[in-house]
Structure 1
Amino acid sequence: MTSESVQPRSGPSRRAVVAAAGAAGLTVALTACGSDDKASGSSTEQGSGGSASSPEAGAGGAALAKTADIPEGSGKIFKDEKVVVSQPAAGQYKAFSTICTHRDCPMVDLKDDIISCTCHGSEFSVLDGSVKKGPAVEPLAAKQVTVNGDSITLA
């Protein structure tokens, strides 16, 4: 009988290398696809979007609209600013981003008090930014508006 010395392999086994490569590929694929949870842009971080009457509050922006342009119980989309301004109750004005929180698609379809995303069908209330129909799970990001006289300004 011959005696051979078996040297242990240094480094990872072939099986370990293949498993690690598969796990890395899965991580890359999941990262590229994203998730339904948005880490940024939460409406609670952006402010409540209510009305204000201080001239200093809106000093940084140009007037978006006149108060008469925003129908009570609905809103109006401003495409260039990527914002919708609504009037939930008489004299109360709010604004929200028109970028869908599901996959960042711009939204321009407004009917009554619902703004819809044509990319995946999510629907949001323009009165409070809440999700009315998924796949989106996060509300629209609130934007700050000020009202000075009959002028609405995006802060």
Structure 2
Amino acid sequence: MAVSAVPVGGSAQVKDPATGDAVYLVQPTAGQYCAFSSVCTHSGCAVDAPKNGQMYCPCHGSKFDAATGAVINGPATKPLPKYAVTKEGDKLNLGPLQA
């Protein structure tokens, strides 16, 4: 994906090539890129795209930090799964899920 497709404070959606699940590629601050699964760790619902630094799950109200994937408030207790992201020139590459 092109670096320009991921605005500072915003996101772009890509698919996990292994599962087909949606993944949000985010740039919380200039030059910092990370990616998180869109699947809520509480009950598997799809979380909304990052907005105002948070990702919200419309099913039960869990909120996650868009820069770290950490739970801000539950019922979710586990952070969103995080993917490796590498930058090569003007492209961002989605790597594997991080353990």
Q: 1:82 aligns with which of 2, 6, 22?
A: 22
Quote the offset at 1:150 in angstroms: 0.9
- 1:72 paired with 2:20, answer no
Tell me the TM-score normalized by structure 2.
0.79
Q: Percent identity?
A: 40
Within-5 A mapping of 1:115-154? 115-154=55-94
Asked if 1 retains the 8 angstrom alpha-carbon contact of 2:11 and 2:49, the reply is no
Higher relative contact order (CA 8 A, sep 6+): 1
What amino acid maps onto 2:55 in structure 1?
Answer: I
Show structure 1 runs of 4+ deviating over 4 A: none
Quote the offset at 1:101 in angstroms: 0.7
Asked if 2 retains the 8 angstrom alpha-carbon contact of 1:84 and 1:126, the reply is no
CA distance in 2, matches of 1:119, 1:86: 22
Q: RMSD of the alignment, in Å? A: 1.8
Three-state SS of the structure 2 residue aligned to 1:68 is helix
State the number of aligned residues: 91
Distance 1:105 1:73, change over 3 A: same
